[in-house]
A and B are shown apart, each in its own frame.
Chain A
């Protein structure tokens, strides 16, 4: 029997919030050090990552290839920095590796790599790929008579991709109840408001119409996210779960929140200091 973490019934809200703040602080440092883009996209999903990695997921970082582990796929691969920090803090590898983010010769590229880092289940970055791969992994549980869950975090801009909706129809048709999508619905894509680009709204209704068990949730309520993700069944039978998580792009830092310039901008040293103060990491 593997040493997979059994989630507690009741999420430790204070701990999850503290982990999310720690992730945000590290991601901001990484963006500054590397002068790398997509900081605001990473900040908007830190609560989702905290709820997943510190409560919901049945994982054992010491045994990252355990066949019965839950899988977590960051389909919005441009938020890689947040995933790298979560995996490091969760014990998949030495957090010192985070200092190599985007440096020459590092495995920590701007998008999560294939075959290179423990805990990274799939290389993402080209949008609309993570969910179909996750659907295949969820389907493998039925064929191989395994019990695990698959979680895929998508961005709202990513929902522009037709492959997302192909996968949504397929997963519902196959009744992959062991699959959960979390849409990090921060209302922005790279260059515009997401609902002024393509007609996404009503987004929960779209997932529901595709026969998913779809819910609108607060994407910054770590306790609610943790409970809902932990409750996803490990039986590949039933409607897959979609959590349309309302988020704020750049969440956690007043001067970054809902300002889409931070899709591409990287912070100065002074901005890092201010952000850390706001996050209570001073």
Chain B
């Protein structure tokens, strides 16, 4: 997703003179093209994320459309108060773009993990929280962000994730989930970089004769209530899937929606796949971390199979 973000930035920067990139001293050579074309609109803001975020707000107040960009914890939690006050309170149309969602940078250790960011940013008034499922969704989210005038948080994975769409999804809009595959027995609602695992799980379950729907819920705020209502009405088991804490992320948002809307939990169960409420303290890369946490497609399929057969509590 990272390289496509840089590529889309370069393209959008050519036609939109409002676009300014503020990098927190990251992305060595990644933005060379944008920088060469628009030297006045590429700013290395250094390792100073509070200032970078305040500067972005000031730029946005002056009619520009800045992006703040660095590794997830540093562009979100490190400067959370600036996001809250300078961006959200002022309704300043800043795009906060984070690289390294969830456990994408597992090997770098918990200082670089990001399993709480959705929770923090979702609670900020006026903030759109978007976790694209592949690079095409990244491009779509960036375009959608520039078409409106509100703060947006875009949560990227890393580089080299599989492409799950063939082009920019038609009709992409914040708050409107994308149906990746149809089904009426199980629905896996996925956000962000877990989408490939969700699709793997669906394929595994399909091999055992189950009809599985997969939704890319790329926007965690606002949620697509219509798509959720349909999933909960139609499917026997509904699962959420995210590389994020069990607190405050997609699963929590769906649980809140479930309670607030008076929707009945599905007969078979409501399952949340997440990273728990703990730091992942072991060395190892993302695939290892996912396996340890039961988040691979295969593991999720196995658990859902047990739930479907009533052999495990949801």
Contacts and interface: CB of A to CB of B under 8 A. Distances in A.
Given A114-B90, A132-B53, A133-B54, A166 B48 contact: yes
B137 to A, nearest CB: 29
Secondary structure class of chain B's binding surface, majority of residues: helix
Interface residues of A, number: 31
Contacts of A133: 54-55, 57-58, 61, 86
B48 A136 contact: no
Contacts of B252: none
Nearest to B54: A132
B62 A144 contact: yes
Contacts of A121: 61
B43 A139 contact: yes
Interface string A151-174: 000000000001100110110011
A134 B58 contact: yes
Contact of B59 (A114, A136, A162, A173): A136
A139 B50 contact: no
B63 A170 contact: no
A197 interface: no
Interface stretch (A56-64, A80-88, A122-130, A243-251): A122-130
B64 A144 contact: yes
B213 to A, nearest CB: 41
A166 B50 contact: yes
Contact of B46 (A131, A143, A169): A169
Interface residues of B, number: 30
B82 interface: yes
Contacts of B60: 136
A226 interface: no
Nearest to A148: B62
Contacts of A137: 58-59, 61-62
Nearest to B84: A126
Contacts of A143: 20, 40-41, 59, 64
Contacts, number: 101
A136 B56 contact: yes
Given A67-B63, A123-B90, A136 B85 contact: no
Contact of A142 (B40, B57, B82, B90): B40
B50 A132 contact: yes
A67 B64 CA distance: 12
A136 B82 contact: no
Nearest to B90: A114
B54 to A, nearest CB: 3
Given A67-B63, A140-B58, A167-B51, A132 B86 contact: yes
Contacts of A167: 51, 54-55
Interface in A78-129: 114-115, 121-123, 126, 128-129
B18 to A, nearest CB: 9
B64 A140 contact: yes
A126 B53 contact: no
A162 B62 contact: no
A170 B59 CA distance: 14
10 contacts: A115-B91, A126-B81, A126-B85, A129-B54, A129-B81, A136-B56, A143-B20, A163-B82, A166-B48, A169-B51
Interface of B: 20, 40-41, 43, 45-46, 48, 50-64, 66, 81-82, 85-86, 89-91
Interface of A: 67, 114-115, 121-123, 126, 128-129, 131-144, 162-163, 166-167, 169-170, 173-174
Given A115-B91, A132-B86, A143-B64, 7 more contacts: A123-B90, A135-B54, A136-B62, A137-B58, A142-B40, A166-B48, A170-B55
